[in-house]
Structure 1
């Protein structure tokens, strides 16, 4: 067996992030009787992604992101002054309820476990919320280890989150492969740390960092085929 451990990202790798974000945002706006248009929802998505990129680059920390997200977005777009942290807590209460799996996830996890791979999660996110979503989705028990940036104190692609992860497992980087959709978090982080990765590029994004993951796939059937071939090139 070429690898013993497969690490999975959560958002937009296991669980559909777009569906989750839409559910949470609609719930928050409905609770406050604010009008949520399609254009405003798209604007929020772009704005939120920008904040997460800043977090990954070390420009802001998790608490700053939590405070800024809705304080700034609601003020700039609705002209209202809100408590950013309270609004984020409310948003996360909706976010934690959404758990739509991407196609092929459960069958792939079952196949991997049947073939004796140890499965783990490494997510930029909140400890309780990510575990809750994995449990609601019915896949939490597939994973021997679940680590989030909140408990590690660092976010992908920072090498310190990988230091923390590997301190919690008896399987080292050279027997581990990372499967994730985040080019600038998952793939860059694994590359910098010196272990292999598979880019789950189901959104068909451009590899503007010119990274070289071991494989690039856009569906889970391709990952199963790669496992059947012991992660060798076809």
Structure 2
């Protein structure tokens, strides 16, 4: 791999640039205070995180709708904690969560500095499975929207990563050659394997530091990108 041939850098957004875990925890803290939900946020998140992960896997495979994801992940979490919440309460919390999530816009460590450096050398792009109406707001509110030449969402593409059609759409929009492009993301299946199968180079951001054996370039911090790009 000749890294000096790269011209286009594609990023996933959540968990890759945008600090989803931190921003999500802050959103739940605010919601629980407002709605007087007497549950420790830390205890809730222990239960919620794996449930949310499973719902996103189902969403990627079209097993659940966006609405079912937003409702189901909260319903199952409260049920697991044996906390009684009405459907009306859960729907209110689901709406408030999106609202408060966008009020917190922390990036992963060194995110802005890395984007500032890379944007001077490459054309930067986003490919995300996140919801259309939310992802643009995240980038705008966190002050990184201007770094990106194109943004491709799964709702726009009609399919979700790792489906090849979303990578095809992103490359077409950006007029990028896959052989001169690299995809950076935290999800091994959706971001890395999906992009690799479509012919892009890849860098796996292992934010959970799982240290699993992979055939791809693996980093644990965004700043390590500068060793390659």
Q: Does TM-score exceed 0.5, indicating one fold?
A: yes
Aligned partner of 1:164 in structure 2 is 169
Q: Which moved more, 1:158-167 or 1:130-139?
A: 158-167
Structure 1, unmatched stretches of 5+, are 228-234
Aligned partner of 1:97 in structure 2 is 103
Q: CA deviation at 1:185?
A: 1.6
Q: Which one of the candidate residues 187, 193, 196 is aligned to 2:201? A: 196
The 2-side partners of 1:221 and 1:32 are apart by 39
1:75 and 1:81 in contact (8 A); partners too: no
2:51 and 2:76 in contact (8 A); partners too: no
TM-score scaled by length of structure 2:
0.88
Structure 2, unmatched stretches of 5+, are none
1:147 match: secondary structure: strand
Aligned partner of 1:222 in structure 2 is 224
What is the root-mean-square deviation in Å for CA atoms of aligned residues?
Answer: 2.0
1:119 match: secondary structure: strand
Q: CA deviation at 1:101?
A: 1.2
Change (3 A) 1:63 1:168: farther
2:107 match: secondary structure: coil
TM-score scaled by length of structure 1:
0.86
| Structure 1 residues 1-234: aligned runs within 5 Å | 1-37=4-40, 38-77=42-81, 78-83=83-88, 85-115=91-121, 117-207=122-212, 211-213=214-216, 215-227=217-229
Instruction: Report the number of matched residues.
Output: 223
